[in-house]
């Protein structure tokens, strides 16, 4: 089958009108219809934030990738634009895979992976992934420039370029698989078209994955952050519970030198659904990241409704005093706030209390007094399917979802210090929850699928009491 932007647009117009919107996000970015996964090409250009994303317009299943496109002036209200690139050429005939965007003078440049098979697609020896360029003056219509980096000899998995400017040069990192070892390869260019190989920036040691997808490389504080999504890390205790992870390595690097790690791989988000995050800089210099709010091989019940997948809220990154990457909602998210509803609850004693009905677009704020709380479990529930609670015996904060009708049950959690106060911001949308802990200390993001009538919010405390210094909710636009 041959693909074109015009055909994709026609397909989306037809499919969008037929969507079932019961779980479609009210304030997150999702495709007009069809499939969406990795965010791509996050950039500020000519007065707009641009978000591209991996997109299959023709079905709710992963398929030959296109680049969907939306823009915003505030990171929360998005305008859908025409599909930016489709697999139209010999260099990307089987898919336009993930990549990034940079501003080069008055031009917006997309650098993406062309995915193609030379022969039988069932034989991985026939797979070739190359890095391609497309450019635009208006930020909407793109002119394909073809291959700029070919597949290295002996490598088949070679994708997801991230490009940035440093000094007089452009730099590009690309995720790769060398045998059973994930790695990130480095390239340098003066013009985005002719690239010189600079070697391997970093690669996996035993247990760190067979493929490093969606790499990103940036500065926070006085450290370099290598952010990536490794495939093939085994779960261990409470760590790495998802099929694939997203996280980072801290270190030091200067152009022409080796990347020197300072510490171990740390997961960015501890929920069920967060993958392929990409970062960019705002005009005022903040480092913002957006991820795919889903997980490979996890059920996506919305596929029956004509769409699949969504992107996370924009999150600002910072480096803590003890050199950990902290993640909190970008300040622009507060512009969604409408009415504030305080909850007149200060103490719960072996009970549950209803606090809101039909929670669908809401930011919940809770401040628990840990030192005064003795309950074995205390927290917040949404209908019968979602609980966010402190488990005092495990000394962990737990996000539990229970949707057996969709095959989605289980918990994710982070450690807690029980005698400290606990500050939570909980963003609830039609089919997602994003939980931010202690102003950047941790984050847990998961997809949820409440049935009609299962959106009532309750506070609870079991086997003891729990105290709140403050609690309530913002209704979101």
pLDDT at res. 290: 98
Band (450; pLDDT cuts 50, 70, 90): very high
pLDDT, tens digit, for every residue of 155-175? 999 999 999 999 999 999 999
Band (403; pLDDT cuts 50, 70, 90): very high
Q: What is the CATH number of the domain that holds 381?
A: 2.60.120.560
Of 161, 273, 182, residue with least CA distance to 231: 182
pLDDT at res. 28: 98
Q: How many domains does the chain have?
A: 2
Band (132; pLDDT cuts 50, 70, 90): very high
Band (301; pLDDT cuts 50, 70, 90): very high
pLDDT, tens digit, for every residue of 245-257? 999 999 999 999 9
pLDDT higher than threshold 80 for residue 41? yes
Phi then psi for 349, rounded to 5 degrees? Answer: -130, 100
Give the span between the Cα atoms of 245 and 258, in whole angstroms: 25
* Contact indicator for 75, 101 with CB cutoff of 8 Å: no
Q: How far apart are the first and last CA of the chain?
A: 41
Active site residues: 38
CA atoms within 13 A on the CB side of 46: 14
Q: Are residues 241 and 122 in the same domain?
A: yes
Domain of residue 345: give its range.
336-476
Band (269; pLDDT cuts 50, 70, 90): very high
* Contact indicator for 437, 426 with CB cutoff of 8 Å: no
Among 281, 300, 329, where does a domain finish? 329
Q: Are residues 63 and 175 in the same domain?
A: yes
Beta bridge partners of 48: 45
Q: Are residues 264 and 365 in the same domain?
A: no
Give the span between the Cα atoms of 367 and 344, in whole angstroms: 13
Q: Are residues 206 and 355 in the same domain?
A: no
Q: Are residues 190 and 50 in the same domain?
A: yes
CA atoms within 13 A on the CB side of 278: 28
* Contact indicator for 97, 114 with CB cutoff of 8 Å: yes
Pairing type for strands 307-308 and 34-45 reads parallel
Q: Are residues 77 and 22 in the same domain?
A: yes
pLDDT higher than threshold 90 for residue 241? yes
Residues 6+ positions from 9 with CB-CB distance below 8 Å: 82, 83
Of 420, 427, 362, residue with least CA distance to 388: 427
* Contact indicator for 314, 325 with CB cutoff of 8 Å: no
The H-or-E segment that residue 6 falls in is helix 5-16
Please compute the mean of the pLDDT values over residues 218-223 and round it to a whole number: 97
Q: Are residues 284 and 369 in the same domain?
A: no
Q: Are residues 89 and 180 in the same domain?
A: yes
Give the span between the Cα atoms of 96 and 91, in whole angstroms: 9
- Which residue is associated with the tokens 């650098």? 111
pLDDT, tens digit, for every residue of 135-154? 999 999 999 999 999 999 99
- DSSP structure class, residue 320: -
CA atoms within 13 A on the CB side of 123: 5
Give the span between the Cα atoms of 463 and 2, in whole angstroms: 62
Q: What is the CATH number of the domain that holds 213?
A: 2.115.10.20
pLDDT at res. 430: 98
* Contact indicator for 327, 289 with CB cutoff of 8 Å: yes
Residues 6+ positions from 412 with CB-CB distance below 8 Å: 241, 270, 271, 272, 398, 399, 444, 446
Give the span between the Cα atoms of 209 and 133, in whole angstroms: 28
Among 286, 313, 329, where does a domain finish? 329
What does R_g of the chain's alpha carbons equal in angstroms?
A: 22
Please compute the mean of the pLDDT values over residues 69-80 and round it to a whole number: 98
pLDDT at res. 415: 98
Please compute the mean of the pLDDT values over residues 305-326 and round it to a whole number: 98
Please compute the mean of the pLDDT values over residues 48-70 and round it to a whole number: 98
Q: Are residues 70 and 194 in the same domain?
A: yes
pLDDT at res. 309: 98
Q: Are residues 254 and 351 in the same domain?
A: no
Band (2; pLDDT cuts 50, 70, 90): confident
Among 310, 329, 348, where does a domain finish? 329
Band (73; pLDDT cuts 50, 70, 90): very high
Q: Are residues 218 and 296 in the same domain?
A: yes
* Angle CA 238–443–288, to nearest 5: 135
Give the span between the Cα atoms of 380 and 471, in whole angstroms: 11
pTM of the model: 0.98
Mean pLDDT taken over the chain: 97
Q: Are residues 53 and 80 in the same domain?
A: yes
pLDDT higher than threshold 80 for residue 1? no
Residue 168: how many other CB atoms lie within 10 Å? 7
pLDDT at res. 351: 98
């Amino acid at each position: 089958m041959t693909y074109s932007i015009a055909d994709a647009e026609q397909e989306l117009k037809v499919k969008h009108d037929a969507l079932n919107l019961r779980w479609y996000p009210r304030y997150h970015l999702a495709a007009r219809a069809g499939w969406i996964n990795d965010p791509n090409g996050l950039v500020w250009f000519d007065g707009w934030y641009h978000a591209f994303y991996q997109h299959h317009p023709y079905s709710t299943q992963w398929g030959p990738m296109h680049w969907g496109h939306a823009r915003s002036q505030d990171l929360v209200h998005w305008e859908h634009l025409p599909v930016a690139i489709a697999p139209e050429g010999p260099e990307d005939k089987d898919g336009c895979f993930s990549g990034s965007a940079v501003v080069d003078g008055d031009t917006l440049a997309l650098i993406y992976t062309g995915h193609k098979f030379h022969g039988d697609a069932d034989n991985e020896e026939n797979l070739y992934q190359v890095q391609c360029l497309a450019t635009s003056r208006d930020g909407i219509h793109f002119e394909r420039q073809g291959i700029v980096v070919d597949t290295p000899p002996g490598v088949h998995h070679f994708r997801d370029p991230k490009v940035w400017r440093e000094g007089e040069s452009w730099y590009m990192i690309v995720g790769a698989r060398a045998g059973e070892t994930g790695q990130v390869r480095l390239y340098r260019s003066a013009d985005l078209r002719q690239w010189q190989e600079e070697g391997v920036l970093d690669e996996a040691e035993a247990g760190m994955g067979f493929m490093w997808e969606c790499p990103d490389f940036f500065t926070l504080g006085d450290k370099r952050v290598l952010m990536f999504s490794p495939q093939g890390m085994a779960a261990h205790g409470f760590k790495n519970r998802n099929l694939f992870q997203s996280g980072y390595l801290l270190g030091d690097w200067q152009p022409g030198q080796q990347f020197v790690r300072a510490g171990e791989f740390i997961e960015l988000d501890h929920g069920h659904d967060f993958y392929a995050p990409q970062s960019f800089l705002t005009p005022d210099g903040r480092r913002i990241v957006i991820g795919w709010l889903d997980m490979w091989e996890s059920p996506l019940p919305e596929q029956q409704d004509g769409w699949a997948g969504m992107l996370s809220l924009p999150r600002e990154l910072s480096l803590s005093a003890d050199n950990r990457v902290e993640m909190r909602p970008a300040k622009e998210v507060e512009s969604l706030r409408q009415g504030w509803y305080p909850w007149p609850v200060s103490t719960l004693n072996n009970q549950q209390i209803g606090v809101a009905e039909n929670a669908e677009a809401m930011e919940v704020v809770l401040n628990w007094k840990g030192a005064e709380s003795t309950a074995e479990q205390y927290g917040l529930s949404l209908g019968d399917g979602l609980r966010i609670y402190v488990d005092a015996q495990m000394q962990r904060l737990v996000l539990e979802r229970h949707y057996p009708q969709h095959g989605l049950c289980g918990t994710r959690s982070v450690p807690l210090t029980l005698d400290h106060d606990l500050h939570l911001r909980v963003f609830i949308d039609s089919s997602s929850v994003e939980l931010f802990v202690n102003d950047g200390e941790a984050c847990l993001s998961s997809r949820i699928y409440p049935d009609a009538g299962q959106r009532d919010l309750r506070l609870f405390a079991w086997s003891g009491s729990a105290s709140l210094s403050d609690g309530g909710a913002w209704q979101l636009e």
